[in-house]
């Protein structure tokens, strides 16, 4: 396995347009190595049998392919093959023949409507990608599949997708502002009853949905984000889904230091992406980032961008009726999410809230998102996928008005 150490000191941002020639060649080299290694990965996955998740060897192969490729790429190189969110949404929606419209929100974000908007219940999703990558094909296929599956279970829900500004050009709290304003749009412009809203996010998006709920409960002290006050008649959102939420910037957890060889998140990703998002409290601003203007506020780590930093008391009075946190047993963020989940559940339940923490055996980071293409061949939903579908159907059925 290639060493990751060479990536740890490279914090300079880039897009596919300004990568060095060497970095672009590196992507091609990775692809060539992947082709060469494919037979060995197939044999290892096949003879390894079913994973602990109960899925077939096809899923095991998928995880090992992802690990092999991403272990050999820097986040700068991943940007080369990942188009902006708006382009991805337009292309995928055209291929699936799904009508898409959008609203702009304060702060520079957009809310894309996946399909026709009917205005009763809504599933509002904020995608992950380390705050640095646009929405992926796997996100959109998953959301499309989820919308169709909920419909088959008798739940008609609008699907709204947030497009937020990416790091390092836009840094914290920009993405949080756009997330709050996206939810405000649903409630104040389109009059969705908060009880009929599920706010969902994966990875960095999971961190953002937690930051939005935190802001409702504890308005951000900087004053940079307008308070979002839910109506007295409906003072709580219906549901919150945090899939493998990125709740800590620390890389010294056991699951981070001893990876399973299957996951899509690596310690150097966490170091680079967190540095691009917000300044560390114990270090000066990195030289690769533009200097602060005299009027700019310096932000650092806090409970909004790093939910694992919050004590249990922070979550008491949580403004959501039912919440679910999904954790992949084989993901590198596992231990940090478990640590967060214990404090989160303690605080929420003290305030009479409902929290379900689901450890998904044999599954990786945001496993359900990577299930969708494979499920065309192996029609077996994973634990993470089924938990989210059941949760969503229950929440939205309970709150029909």
Q: Is 272 exposed, middle or buried (0-12, 13-18, 19+ CB in 10 A)?
A: buried
Show the CA angle centred on residue 336, arms to residues 332 and 338, nearest 5°: 105
| β-pair type (320-328, 354-360) | parallel
The 158-163 sheet, strands edge to edge: 100-104, 110-114, 158-163, 122-126, 197-202, 237-243, 320-328, 354-360
Helices (H), 71-136: 75-78, 85-96
Which residues, listed in sequence order, are joined to residue 325 by a DSSP beta bridge? 242, 357
Q: Is 84 exposed, middle or buried (0-12, 13-18, 19+ CB in 10 A)?
A: middle
Q: Is 56 assigned a catalytic role?
A: no
Catalytic residue among 51, 53, 179, 203: 203
CB count in 10 Å sphere of residue 352? 9
In angstroms, the CA 75 to CA 215 distance is 29
Question: 3-class SS at 112?
Answer: strand
Q: What is the gyration radius of the CA atoms in the chain, in angstroms?
A: 20
Query: Following DSSP, what letter does each residue of 253-281 receive, concatenated?
Result: SHHHHS--S--S--HHHHHHHHHHHS--T
Helices (H), 21-104: 21-47, 57-70, 75-78, 85-96
Show the CA angle centred on residue 23, arms to residues 18 and 26, nearest 5°: 145
Compute CA distances 348 → 189, 324, 341, whole Å: 29, 12, 10
In angstroms, the CA 48 to CA 57 distance is 7
Question: 3-class SS at 244?
Answer: coil
- The catalytic residue positions are 203
């Amino acid at each position: 396995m290639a060493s990751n150490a060479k990536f740890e000191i490279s914090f300079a941002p880039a897009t596919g347009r300004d990568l060095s020639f060497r970095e672009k060649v590196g992507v091609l080299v990775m692809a060539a190595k992947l082709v060469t290694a494919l037979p060995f990965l197939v044999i290892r996955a096949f003879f390894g049998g079913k994973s602990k998740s109960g899925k077939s060897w096809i899923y095991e192969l998928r995880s090992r392919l992802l690990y092999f490729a991403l272990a050999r790429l820097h986040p700068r190189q991943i940007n080369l093959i990942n188009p902006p969110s708006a382009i991805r949404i337009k292309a995928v929606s055209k291929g699936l023949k799904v009508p898409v419209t959008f609203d702009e929100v304060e702060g520079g974000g957009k809310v894309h409507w996946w399909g026709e908007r009917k205005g009763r219940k809504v599933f509002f999703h904020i995608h992950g990608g380390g705050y640095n990558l646009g929405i992926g094909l796997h996100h959109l296929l998953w959301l499309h599949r989820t919308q169709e599956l909920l419909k088959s279970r008798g739940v008609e829900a609008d699907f709204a997708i947030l497009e937020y500004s990416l790091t390092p050009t836009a840094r914290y709290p920009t993405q949080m502002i756009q997330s709050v304003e996206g939810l405000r749009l649903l409630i104040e412009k389109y009059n969705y009853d908060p009880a009929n809203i599920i706010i969902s996010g994966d990875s960095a998006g999971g961190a953002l949905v937690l930051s939005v709920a935190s802001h409702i409960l504890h308005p951000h002290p900087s004053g940079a984000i307008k308070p979002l006050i839910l109506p007295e008649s409906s003072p709580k959102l219906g549901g919150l889904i945090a899939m493998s939420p990125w709740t800590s910037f620390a890389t010294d957890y056991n699951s981070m230091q001893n990876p399973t060889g299957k996951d899509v998140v690596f310690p150097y990703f966490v170091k680079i992406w967190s540095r691009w998002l917000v300044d560390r409290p114990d270090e000066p601003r990195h030289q690769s980032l533009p200097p602060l203007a005299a009027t700019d506020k310096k932000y650092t780590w806090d409970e909004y961008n790093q939910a694992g930093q919050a004590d249990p008391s922070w979550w008491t009075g949580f403004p959501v009726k039912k919440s679910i946190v999904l954790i992949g047993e084989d993901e590198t963020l596992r231990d940090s999410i478990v640590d967060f989940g214990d404090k989160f559940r303690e605080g929420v339940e003290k305030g009479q809230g409902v929290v379900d923490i689901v450890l998904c055996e044999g599954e990786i980071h945001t496993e359900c998102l990577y299930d969708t293409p494979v499920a065309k061949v192996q029609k077996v939903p994973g634990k993470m996928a089924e938990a989210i579908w059941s949760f969503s159907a229950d929440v939205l059925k309970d709150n029909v008005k």
